[in-house]
Amino acid sequence: MHFLIFAIICSVSVSVLFKLTKKFNIIIPQMIAIGYVVALSLSYVLLKPDFQGLSFTEFFIQSPAMPIFLTLGIILPLGFIVMSKAIEYGGIVRTDAAQRLALFLQIVAAVVLFGETLSHFRIVGVIVAFAALFCLLFKPATTVENALKAALALAGVWLIWGTSGILYKKTALLGGAFPTTLFISFTLAAVIMLTILLLKRTQWTVPSFVGGLILGCLNFGNILFYIYAHQYFKENPTIVFATMDLGVICLGALVGAWAFKERLSKTNMIGIVLGISAILLMYVEKFL
pLDDT value, residue 41: 96
pLDDT value, residue 54: 58
pLDDT value, residue 9: 92
Residues of the chain with pLDDT under 70: 1, 52-64, 90-94, 96-97, 100, 137-147, 175-176, 262, 285-288
Q: What is the pTM of this model?
A: 0.81
CB 66 within 8 Å of CB 181: no
pLDDT value, residue 285: 65
pLDDT value, residue 149: 80
Closest to 243 in 3D by CA, of 268, 287, 276, 271: 276
pLDDT value, residue 60: 62
pLDDT value, residue 62: 65
